[in-house]
Amino acid sequence: MNAQQGTDEVVVNLDTPGPVISRHIYGHFAEHLGRCIYEGFWVGEDSEIDNVDGIRSDVVAALRGLKIPNLRWPGGCFADEYHWMDGIGPRQDRPRMVNTHWGDVVENNHFGTHEFMKLCELLNTEPYISANVGSGTVRETSEWVEYLTRGDDAPMSQLRSQHGQTEPWSVKFFGIGNEPWGCGGRMTAEQYVALARQHATYARDHGHNSLYRIAAGASDDDYAWTETLMKHLTQGLGDRAPSDIFQAISFHFYTFSGGWADKGHATEFSRDEYWNTIAKAQQITRILRGHTAVMDAYDPHQTVGLALDEWGTWWNVEEGTNPGFLYQQNTMRDALVAAVHFDAFHHFAERLTLANIAQTVNVLQAMVLTDGAELVLTPTYHVFEMSTGHHDAQRLDVRPRTPSGMTSPGKHTEHTKVNVSTKDGTLTITAANLDPDTAQEVTLDLRGGTISGLRGRVLHGSDVSDHNTPQAPQAVAPTPYRGATLVPYDRGAELTLSLPPASFVSLSAQLDSH
């Protein structure tokens, strides 16, 4: 890797805020996979681990620090073999099933609809529920929505009341299947569209509850799938907007250093493997641009949202763990991959309305790792927590004044990422140095306003492979940041940030516009 320390210079016009960065692009994902639900979120009411109605108290307390905006459940691949009625009623009477996708283990259905909605209540988050299109029926979808959201004496409303929930819940996000091109049924796009229109039609809005229906979309850069969805979902709607039947379509994108057969090791990797990972992560900008262009052709007024409801790093499982449980450690490299994604998400704020990292606890790029009663926060957790200032804030465009880039083996990639937003008089700045070996500087020319009360934190370790364990839970954790230099001038200020190698910095300040 050949890199030289230098100063990137960018211009930020404080008085020209752009589109709102939806907080829902910072969403999360909880699937019945490995130890995400059982041992992660759910330990049962008889557990010695402190819990609220069976839900782990320490996990909830940690995740509340992230201000999780939405939580996707029950899958993933699991969603398309999950029959929701098996997960209601007295737990001892619930039928069991085989989780064929993830470890071929027996699922006891102790964590079902009521438990999930209780979890959302404890987290103060909005539920994102995925319906079973692959092996379920339109009736199942229709009745689940009725069970969740209808408030009178309808059959499903009465059934919900019998199980202890008299009042309906509020459910906004509702997915119509998952990966129908793969584990969700191995369908063609045309086959899926026909089913999706049916399921979405019978996923009714009851009372004051209005669903945001999300059609299951493409893998990576399969723009043909997106075009098929946009073309067929708009057919026969007459003068109605495409959003009358679907409010969004999704796609999935994962990051690794190798290939699907050998994705790479979570904690032991070379500098070449590191840069391969960053280069793969940065493909998200190209892919978002591609899907947006296809959607714009059919929906120029952007009435349909784009949802990246599965993303994150995917490594070979940790040695000695069940290969079907997808348990992996989480390093500073993973945190920087998240920073790369956030940067892209902000740039596409007009079209991208929702995103969900995979997954929240003990699976893939997790926020929290548990081992019995032990709990560890990952570097990725900290990047999410340090970015909460961007939730529902207005994006401020960051315009380069000097070229930014570095040469790594066979790759060309930006070595710094800077994002700025404003909300309720508060300015939030996040900056990442992707270079694992060299400190970098970024100078922000802040024009059209003055700032005061600048404070910040920095996340970095001694190496990009550093990670947290029960024995060293603070190996990678935020510390006060003292690398900022602010020089005011007549109608603005020059802010210079010194960024350690492989670091993520978050700052906030009061904004006083001229």
Active site residues: 179, 310
Nearest to 29 by CA among 365, 359, 363, 368: 359
Whether the Cβ atoms of residue 485 and residue 495 lie closer than 8 Å to each other:
yes
Nearest to 475 by CA among 378, 365, 338: 378
Whether the Cβ atoms of residue 363 and residue 29 lie closer than 8 Å to each other:
no
Q: What angle do CA 283, 286, 288 make, to 5 degrees?
A: 105
Distance CA 196, CA 141 (A): 11
Nearest to 446 by CA among 507, 502, 505: 507
Tokens at 77, concatenated: 């691949």
Residue listed under structure tokens 């796609």 = 251
Sign of the dihedral defined by the CA atoms of residues 271, 429, 346, 448, in that order: negative
Distance CA 314, CA 248 (A): 25
Q: Is 114 helix (H, G, I), strand (E, B) or coil?
A: helix
Q: Is 190 helix (H, G, I), strand (E, B) or coil?
A: helix
Whether the Cβ atoms of residue 288 and residue 250 lie closer than 8 Å to each other:
no
Whether the Cβ atoms of residue 344 and residue 288 lie closer than 8 Å to each other:
yes
